Homo-oligomer: A and B are copies of this chain.
Amino acid sequence: MTHSEWDKLSKVHRLNLINSCTGYKSANLIGTKSETGVANVAVFSSVTHLGSNPALLGFILRPNVVARNTYENLKATGYFTVNHIHQNIIAQAHQTSASYNAAESEFEMVKLTEEYLSEIDVPFVGESPVKLLCQYLNEYEIKENNTIHIIASVVEIYFRDDILHEDYWLQLDQADIVAVNGLDGYCLPKIVDRFDYARPHTKTKSILKNGT
């Protein structure tokens, strides 16, 4: 299928196709607080690891849409939280994408637990098995479609003890964390295998010990 073919599709069909063709996406709730104290939480599927030293992540914002509150809050306070979505809260997580007004807290609207774990006054999602406190560092405007790539440093990580392996790998499926397929499909991954660091002309070696 070529771009001249999907250009003829309806807007919704095109959104479904293009959003699902790049593969599975991370499923995260981003928590922020406004300067007037209103807690905000919104679902994002573009959080991406950028580097380990320093620990950096990025995500994509469309300034003109729902995520506006997230953007205004994280710029005003300098902080936000990234909270993984457990399979039991996928309906609530999806519902945070509705355009509530800035005075309404999505935590109350969708019945997710507002939780405070850090010295910084920014809300985490109580139901999430992995949660990150992040500090805004920079942003790059992607001129090709007027989106913003937010760059942030990870400053604190909270996770369920039972998903931490000896080598500090967090096994996400032990905590029933979901991924996203397209705009609206929530999926539950299960580990198949882990492999050792790959070297040329050397057989790929499994290192999975207790995957399931």
- A residues sitting closer than 8 Å to B (CB atoms) are 1-3, 6, 9, 11-28, 45-58, 60, 62, 82, 84, 87, 90-92, 94-101, 104, 109, 130, 132, 137-138, 140, 142-145, 147, 149, 151, 153-159, 165, 167-173, 177-179, 181-202, 204, 207-208
- Select from chain B the residue with minimum beta-carbon distance to A131: B21
User: A189–B198 contact, CB under 8 A?
Assistant: no
Q: Give the distance in Å from the alpha carbon of A97 to the alpha carbon of B204 in the complex.
A: 11
User: B132–A54 contact, CB under 8 A?
Assistant: no
User: A94–B151 contact, CB under 8 A?
Assistant: no
When distances are taken between beta carbons in the complex, the residues of chain B under 8 Å from A159 are 1, 21
Q: How far is the CB of A128 from chain B (nearest CB, A)?
A: 10
User: B184–A13 contact, CB under 8 A?
Assistant: no
When distances are taken between beta carbons in the complex, the residues of chain B under 8 Å from A207 are 184
- Select from chain B the residue with minimum beta-carbon distance to A186: B192
Q: Give the distance in Å from the alpha carbon of A58 to the alpha carbon of B202 in the complex.
A: 31
User: B16–A27 contact, CB under 8 A?
Assistant: no
The contact sample of 11 A-B pairs, CB cut-off 8 A, is A1-B156, A16-B168, A18-B53, A22-B154, A58-B142, A91-B195, A170-B182, A171-B185, A179-B179, A184-B195, A187-B189
User: B95–A169 contact, CB under 8 A?
Assistant: no
Q: Give the distance in Å from the alpha carbon of A191 to the alpha carbon of B189 in the complex.
A: 9
When distances are taken between beta carbons in the complex, the residues of chain B under 8 Å from A100 are 200
User: B48–A170 contact, CB under 8 A?
Assistant: no
With A16-B169, A52-B19, A190-B188 in contact, is A149–B149 under 8 Å at CB?
A: yes
Q: How far is the CB of A212 from chain B (nearest CB, A)?
A: 11
Q: How far is the CB of A32 from chain B (nearest CB, A)?
A: 17
When distances are taken between beta carbons in the complex, the residues of chain B under 8 Å from A151 are 142, 144
- Select from chain B the residue with minimum beta-carbon distance to A202: B98
Q: How far is the CB of A102 from chain B (nearest CB, A)?
A: 12
